[in-house]
Amino acid sequence: MRRAWRTTARCSAPAGKDREFEPHAASLANDGAIERAGWEEHWRCDNRTMNAFVASQDHAELLELERLTLATSPALREELYDEWVLRASGTDTRRANSVTQLGRGTLPLAEKIDCCERWYADAGQPATFRLTSALSPPELDALLEARGYSVVTPSHMMCCALDQVSEAEPPPQIVERTARQGIADLHRLKGSAPALIERDQTRQARWTSPERHLAFMEAGEVRACGLVRVEGPWAGLFNMRTAAAHRGRGIASALVAALLAWAHGQGARQAFLQVERGNDAAVRLYRRAGFDPRYDYHYRVKP
């Protein structure tokens, strides 16, 4: 059964309490643990609610893409509050450590911002909001700016149809990795601290649907890595990283092609990814692979 979003949740408990929201709020957190079975229902709504929430089919598609970004990038702590999703993980993935707006909701924006700030203070993290050009209340950005929030990582959501997936065999240097290996590959290329790597391993382990980690290896060393996850007819590309000394060789293009071919074989017919707008090389790479920008977003972080 599909479940309508609840829109009556109110932030009532003072900061420092175990629970920031009244029990009737649709909560996905339980002492930091999330049960995956059935939790996707929280991101779906029945037709009546959808028709009331979106004004057009275009907005419905954008809402689905936002749902996908949440479903494919799990968080360690998560709350649904008046059509906003609050997430905290203590990792370096902003999607898993920010507020996503799936709708305006019914409560005053200033009250909701106050509630979010208390929630993140309790989590020991700076309050961070993910604002999309598609669904965020237009005045929210100005309200956050007035509170001193800074803009970080302006990004594109890019999409492509998987109707012309390459059937060529990937180069032999591309090998499959286990989930733990793939996540470790990414953080090794980023130079992450061991504690962050282990926490991200815990977070990423919450994903239990189809996925594939690939690496490009030479002389026993990982030169690049990537991940694809499949959610229904959609595939999401993540964790794309190439060692600085090996960029410009076409390695990332080969990885993208191999990941998308595998996802197509799993039933995916469309793909999405998120990339920083200032990363011109990556944007060009994804455009060559058939991706086009669908909408933009950025983060606001509390100082």
Spell out the residues 6+ positions from residue 101 whose beta carbon is closer than 8 angstroms to its own.
Answer: 83, 84, 129, 130, 131, 132, 135, 136, 137, 140
Range(s) of the domain holding residue 194? 164-268
Domain for residue 151, yes or no? yes
Separation CA 23–CA 183 (nearest Å):
35
Q: Token match 């609840």: residue?
A: 6
Cβ atoms 207, 96 nearer than 8 A: no
- The verdict on residue 77 lying in a domain is yes
**Is residue 294 assigned to a domain?**
no
Does some domain include residue 30? no
Domain finish residue from 156, 186, 221: 156
Mean pLDDT in residue range 62-69: 93
Report the pLDDT value the prediction gives residue 57, as an integer from 0 to 100. 58
**Which residue, chain included where needed, has tokens 């749902």?**
67
- From the list 187, 180, 179, 258, the residue with the least C-alpha distance to 216 is 258
Q: pLDDT tens digit string along 182-230?
A: 999 999 999 999 999 999 999 999 999 999 999 999 999 999 999 999 9
Is the confidence at residue 167, as pLDDT, over 90?
Answer: no
Provide the CATH number for the domain around residue 215: 3.40.630.30
Q: Do 94 and 131 belong to one domain?
A: yes
Are residues 100 and 202 part of one domain? no
Same domain for 149 and 171? no
| Dihedral sign of CA atoms 64, 274, 152, 284 in order | negative
Same domain, 170 and 259: yes
Please give the average per-residue pLDDT across 243-254, as a whole number.
Answer: 95
Residues 226, 177, single domain; the answer is yes
The answer as to whether 4 is a domain residue is no
Number of domains in the chain: 2
Residue 108 lies in a domain: yes
Q: Is residue 21 part of a domain?
A: no
Residue 69 shares a structural domain with residue 101: yes
Judge whether residue 56 has pLDDT over 70: no
Evaluate if residue 24 carries a pLDDT over 80: no
